[in-house]
Amino acid sequence: MRIVITGAAGFIGSHLSETLLDRGHSVVGIDNLLTGDIANVAHLTGRDFVFLKHNVTNYISVDGPVDVVFHWASPASPVDYLEWPIPTLKVGALGTHNALGLAKAKRARFVLASTSEVYGDPLEHPQTESYWGNVNPIGPRGVYDEAKRFAEAITVAYHRYHGVDTKIVRIFNTYGPRMRINDGRAVPTFIAQALRGEDLTIFGSGAQTRSFCYITDLVDGILRLMDSSTNDPVNIGNPHEMSIEEMARLIIQMTGTSSRITFKPLPTDDPKVRQPDITRARTLLGWEPKVALEEGLGSTIDYFKKKMAAGA
């Protein structure tokens, strides 16, 4: 198949591009490099991969046939969407509209990268796809949460009104190689601080929970969803829940650092719990995560060691 991926130079987008190429597909990667890094896809040069530097909030033009459109473009870390609130809203709204327009014009399947953030600070635990969420639309995180909620709404509208074969993947916390050192999320921040010998910074008490999924497991789930017949949202994430403090202490142990933990105030509207109910993924896709946390963290720590040694 010939596949278009917006946000192809990002953390998840680059792994998705690589895996699709490994499976024999042709990939057109689009990214404006606001948070993506061309180094993430540099190794794909010479393969059936074309890169277009383009902001998808503007009209998307791709010559020739397209079988699938993956819409992955968006800042995804609180550090990023707090710095770029309006571009985050625009890529969720205008970018999704343009990507859907491309899929409609090419009669292509459409796969949307949504997020567990559509559940907000959830009152239901664990979170099922039928839960409508608890989101503050005017809080600082609302620019990302509501952008993704709108993206889901317009995606479903294109399915119902135009008959586009759409898929929605609600991604829970994912980690692995190619995350940015200054990403701002827990795993890359803790690893970078540990490798520098700095104290690890926890916001809040550290009792808030997350569920961490390794990148190869996530990509496997995404591609199973792409191949499926379902048009309903599907949670893809690891249901193993742990506190942020537990993650910090595990990284301290695995890196052998002498770092300690410091605590700072919790940001506004930061979710207290996060755990996917993956019954739908298990039932419809035959998917569940396979990579153990220590194995995935080991690979991620090795990547960060090399990246930091190279001065990146």
The C-alpha atoms of residue 86 and residue 83 are separated, in whole angstroms, by: 9
The closest alpha carbon to 76, from 88, 86, 87, belongs to: 88
Facing residues of 138 across strands? none
- How deeply is 270 buried, as exposed, middle or buried, from its count of CB atoms within 10 A (0-12, 13-18, 19+)? middle
φ/ψ (deg, to 5) at 113: -80, 100
User: For the chain, what's the residue count?
Assistant: 312
Cα–Cα distance between 210 and 109 in angstroms, integer? 31
The first and second tokens of residue 214, run together, are 């390794």
What residues act catalytically?
Answer: 144
Strand, coil or helix: 189: helix
DSSP annotation string for 46-115:
TSSEEEEE--TTSPP---S--SEEEE--S--SHHHHHHSHHHHHHIIIIIHHHHHHHHHHHT-EEEEEEE
What's the N-to-C CA distance of the chain in angstroms?
A: 35
Query: How far is residue 28's CA from residue 19's CA, in Å, rounded to a whole number?
Result: 13
Per the CB < 8 A criterion, the answer to whether 169 and 129 are in contact is: no
CA dist 54 and 79 (Å) reads 22
- Quote the CA–CA distance of 266 and 204 in Å, as a whole number: 4
